[in-house]
Amino acid sequence: MTIPLDILPMRTGGAAENMAADFLLLKRYPERGHARFRHYGWRQPAFTFGYSQKMEYVRPQLPPEEEGPFDLCRRPTGGGVVDHRDDWTYALVIPREHAFSELPAPESYRVVHACIAEALGALGEHVVLKKEPDAEAEGVPTVCFERAERHDVVRGDTGAKVAGAAQKRAKEGMLFQGSIARAAVSAKLDWDAFEAGFVGRLAKAMSAEAVETPWPDFAEHEMEGLVEQYSTEEWNAFR
């Protein structure tokens, strides 16, 4: 059965705002049964880190204060520390009703990254999926683009990491937050063409129909409350 894949407008926000929006797209989306996708930007330099990571690990991975201020926020998904200062960021939500949300985590990770690799390859980028993890580092907390995990997108010539992601499963479905390192691909890459190719391949992989869709009308108090929560020291430092 074909389902809608709602393609939401591009938005730019602070780190807490972006994480809150992604979480609400999972938890409060008004169109039940619709998958949703968004590409978004960052209002100022930003870093995010995985839900289960400890601040004593995170802080040493961040740039020194003399490099200037930046946003920092814990993600609702897992994964490592991600530098968003020069990346292409997206979120994908799959509703519980869709079979894709029931795939084992490694397989959903592989499918989404295969769509990225194919879209980049169609634009002349020599990229592949990493076949196996580095055994000596498996399960160790990471800085996202310093080491590739299994099914990450990597350069075919150097093995440098191009794209990584993290997932969260909930009763409403699956949240997939991903990042592509702009510096790892050609400076002349047409990002609009990439997005079109990526979305088209996602829709095909999910047996979905991509539809340009207005931003959902979330309750203002709920969005503001979640942004406030994601901005607190309690959320970011003491989990």
The type of residue at 124 is G
Q: What local confidence, expressed as pLDDT, does residue 148 receive?
A: 85
Q: How far is CA 89 from CA 37, 137, 149, 225, in A?
A: 11, 25, 18, 23
Q: What are 53-107's pLDDT values in tens digits? A: 998 899 898 988 778 899 999 999 999 999 999 999 999 999 998 988 889 999 9
Q: By C-alpha distance, which of 95, 98, 92, 91 is closest to 32?
A: 95
| Alpha carbon distance 93, 35 (integer Å) | 6
What percent of the chain is modeled with pLDDT above 70? 93
Q: Using the predicted structure, report yes or no on whether residue 137 has a pLDDT greater than 60.
A: no
Q: What are 12-21's pLDDT values in tens digits? A: 999 999 999 9
Q: What local confidence, expressed as pLDDT, does residue 32 receive?
A: 87
> Domains in the chain, ordered, with CATH?
3-237 (3.30.930.10)
Q: What are 170-224's pLDDT values in tens digits? A: 999 999 999 999 999 999 999 999 999 999 999 999 999 999 999 999 988 999 9
In the structure, what pLDDT confidence band is assigned to residue 158 with cuts at 50, 70 and 90? Answer: very high
| Alpha carbon distance 182, 194 (integer Å) | 12
Q: How far is CA 101 from CA 73, 79, 169, 213, in A?
A: 26, 18, 8, 21
Residue linked to tokens 């059965």: 1
Q: What are 16-42's pLDDT values in tens digits? A: 999 999 999 999 998 889 999 999 999
In the structure, what pLDDT confidence band is assigned to residue 140 with cuts at 50, 70 and 90? Answer: low
- Can you read off the two tokens belonging to residue 226? 């979640």
Q: What local confidence, expressed as pLDDT, does residue 145 receive?
A: 56
| Alpha carbon distance 85, 156 (integer Å) | 24
Q: What local confidence, expressed as pLDDT, does residue 66 receive?
A: 76
